[in-house]
A and B are shown apart, each in its own frame.
Chain A
Amino acid sequence: MLSVDGLDVHAGPVRLVRDVSFGIGPGERVGLIGESGSGKSLTALSLMGLLPEGVTASGRATLDGDDLVGVPERRLKRLRGREVSMVFQEPMTALNPLMRVGAQVAEVMTLHGRPRAEARERAVHLLGRVRLPRPEQIARAYPHQLSGGQRQRVMLAIALANEPRLLICDEPTTALDVTVQKQMLELIAEVAPALLFITHDLAVVASVCERVVVMYGGRVVESGPIREVFTNPRHRYTEGLLAASRLTPRGTRLPTIKGSVPAAGGFPDGCVFRNRCPHATEACEQEPALTGDGHAFACWHPAG
């Protein structure tokens, strides 16, 4: 359904995302994980045509045959919010503080040609669908009267308003408390038609997605079924990340990845991870290809 093929994102001379390819089938939930600077958010934004000024995408991405990259804004506008929609990290700033919540949900529908009255009615229905209690009342509330978790549900209702074919979530629960996060994750997994879920949290991705794409330094380093990738990681970065996220008992040292994530444009040639990798050799100066069917990885000295 969604197919991304050789996606590049540039900011001037700096390549922030390189040769990213993956696909999402109908009803499939795919996680895109990576740390800061991995290019995961830029990848998502380029699918929405929402890249910041001065940042450009090239390559190919299609949603059921409709091109998403390198097409004029006019055509993207029709797709955005209708065929593909997005939920952002920050529920505090993503809503217009001066507009009632119901009107904001209705607006995305009237924008895409639904009559006003019908949109209003459906907005209340949608607020109920994202499990907000007393949706009629919530629809009349202003954003500041809602909690962070409730606001994020409203964002989800807005994203679902036009029954999109693909939902993109960018760290939708990072700003929420853990107890609220759990319900939100369950809700997303339940209502998403097909999902691209972006996060830095391995446990969160494991609780929502079926397949995972691991990014580092703007590249896909490993991808595959989540259980497979997380129990039997092949790329040394995935291996290190998994080890680093397991908290060992008190008094023991935590396994770490040495060094820190380089700034954009500061990743090495060849294998992007080689300057932090304990297994790096001269071979890693050559760029490894992403190989493997189902469970793919790009590493010269794979684990396992």
Chain B
Amino acid sequence: MPSRAGTPPADSPRDEPSETPPSETPVIEAPALIDAAALIEVAGLNRVYRRPRTSLTRPGEAVHALRDVSLTVRRGERFGIVGESGSGKSTLLRLLCGLDRPTSGSVRFDGREITGLPERGLRFLRENLQIVFQDPMSSLDPRMRVRDLVAEPLVALGLPVGGRVAELLEEVGLPASAADRYPHQFSGGQRQRIAIARALAPKPKVLVADEPVSALDVSVRGQILNLLADLVDELGLTLVFVSHDLAVVRHVCETVAVMSGGEIVETGPVDDVWARPAHPYTRALLEAVPTLEGLL
């Protein structure tokens, strides 16, 4: 069929070279909690991948996906992370969500260290932090019905399902009849609604959205962004919103961290960063984005 709407490649870790096993326990002790409002605290995070070796005598080349990244997300905050492919934003996201282990550094969620924990120790994180992925085509198992997809986090965490699926579908603006159908029977925007319903199932405190609208048509993008804003307000969620588009982040978030080459090059209130970008990379990024207002 005709081309899908734009899907800028996220710096997907799939393409990344094979990884070296991360050192067992992170060495750096996280600084003591000072900010009581802090919900996610990242300190001195590094992630090094190693390319497959090409020579017998030398080990594969090391790739620094993340260099010494630190940031704090406060309760109820809408925090944006902006970067292009290869900036390390996807790696950071995976570490925040406990889907990967850092080479060094710490990630604390609600005061508890999550790095180095085995999967069964991450239950508190899974209950409280859920993700919406970029491409709703690929993030929903094509062989599962919507009912099972939405209920999956509940089942996985051993929480009661009950009438929650219908409730969630209504919350994201889908008919209850959607539950019996398969993902491919829905349009892109509707699929992203399903993904959002699923993420909200265990009533998390934090919603992490990884480029949730970049695979969608413009006419649908607004619907999803409005829906996210409504849900964040109603449910009092903390939002971590990752995007390659600073303009979208400016619409959604209060605070932004701009990433490039595995580092956070600039961070602050999004309006300040937008109006007075301090780092040359941020300036280049802002200049590069074509805007209708600027062109007409």
Contacts and interface: CB of A to CB of B under 8 A. Distances in A.
A and B found bound together: yes
Interface of A: 16, 34-42, 89, 148, 170-171, 174-179, 181-182, 185, 198, 200-204, 206-207, 227, 230-231, 240-242, 244-250, 253-257, 260-261, 263-264
A247 B291 CA distance: 10
The range of chain B's interface size is 35 or more
A157 B223 CA distance: 39
Contacts of A178: 84, 244-245, 285, 288-289
A227 B284 contact: no
Chain A CB count within 10 A is highest, among B1, B2, B190, B226, for B2
Given A177-B244, A179-B284, A256 B251 contact: no
A257 B226 CA distance: 12
A36 B218 CA distance: 10
4 shortest interchain CB distances as A-B pairs: A254-B222, A177-B84, A256-B222, A35-B217
B253 to A, nearest CB: 7
Given A182-B287, A202-B218, A247-B251, 16 more contacts: A36-B3, A36-B217, A174-B8, A176-B8, A178-B84, A178-B245, A207-B290, A230-B292, A241-B218, A244-B219, A244-B221, A246-B292, A254-B222, A254-B225, A261-B217, A261-B219
Nearest to A251: B229
B260 to A, nearest CB: 10
Contacts of A248: 251
A37 B1 contact: yes
B4 interface: yes
A255 B223 CA distance: 8
Contacts of B292: 202-203, 206, 230, 242, 245-246
Interface string B58-86: 00000000000000000000000000110
A40 B3 contact: yes
Interface string B270-296: 100000000000001101111111011
Given A240-B219, A244-B222, A261-B217, A170 B295 contact: no
B5 A35 contact: yes
A94 to B, nearest CB: 14
